[in-house]
């Protein structure tokens, strides 16, 4: 059968084939978009977990770096902001007790850490304003800044009051 030829017809596509191609491309593009979205969330979770591990090991600068990256990848996750504010607070305490720093260095670093801690905890309450844990943490941050940040006492009380309003049966809020 040497002389037999195969013939392929590449003529005008039918409407069914065109519709199939359209839906295939639509599904492909949608799948890629969903993969990117969930990939970003996954990357944020990985960075957050790395930040927690660094925090447990006592490497607060590394922890701040990882959790900050998690916040950048998923800024609508309140727990990232809440824990970031706590790491900044721990870092602030390290700076204030560091005897190798000059008073000017301590002051500059402390001001930056106070601002970032307060901004982070405020962002947590903005992302999820109905979460009592965010408001309780906000009160905790302000309470730990008494004597360092003017008006911290008033903000701490207001934050704990809001937490108590959101979760009136939580005894720890009233103890704070």
pLDDT for 4:
76
Q: Which residue has the tokens 């992302």?
A: 127
Between the alpha carbon of residue 59 and those of residues 55, 103, 125, the distances in Å are: 6, 23, 26
pLDDT in tens, 125-149: 999 999 999 999 999 999 998 888 8
Tokens representing 116?
Answer: 């970032």
**Does residue 74 sit in helix, strand or coil?**
coil
Q: What is the DSSP string of 14-48?
A: PHHHHHHHHHHHHHHHHHHHHHHHHHHHHHHHHHH
pTM for the predicted model, two decimal places? 0.78
């Amino acid at each position: 059968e040497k002389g037999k030829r195969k013939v392929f017809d590449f003529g005008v596509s039918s409407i069914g084939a065109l519709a199939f191609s359209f839906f295939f491309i639509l599904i492909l593009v949608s799948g890629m978009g969903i993969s990117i979205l969930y990939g970003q969330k996954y990357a944020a979770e990985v960075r957050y977990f790395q930040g927690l591990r660094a925090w447990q090991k006592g490497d607060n600068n590394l922890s701040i770096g990882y959790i900050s990256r998690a916040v950048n990848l998923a800024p609508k996750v309140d727990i990232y902001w809440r824990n970031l504010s706590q790491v900044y607070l721990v870092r602030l305490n390290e700076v204030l007790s560091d005897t190798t720093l000059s008073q000017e260095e301590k002051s500059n670093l402390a001001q930056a850490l106070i601002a970032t801690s307060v901004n982070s905890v405020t962002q947590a309450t903005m992302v999820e304003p109905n979460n009592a844990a965010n408001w309780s943490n906000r009160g905790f941050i302000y309470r730990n800044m008494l004597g360092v940040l003017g008006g911290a006492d008033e903000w701490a009380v207001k934050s704990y009051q809001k937490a108590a309003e959101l979760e009136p049966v939580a005894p720890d809020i009233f103890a704070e």
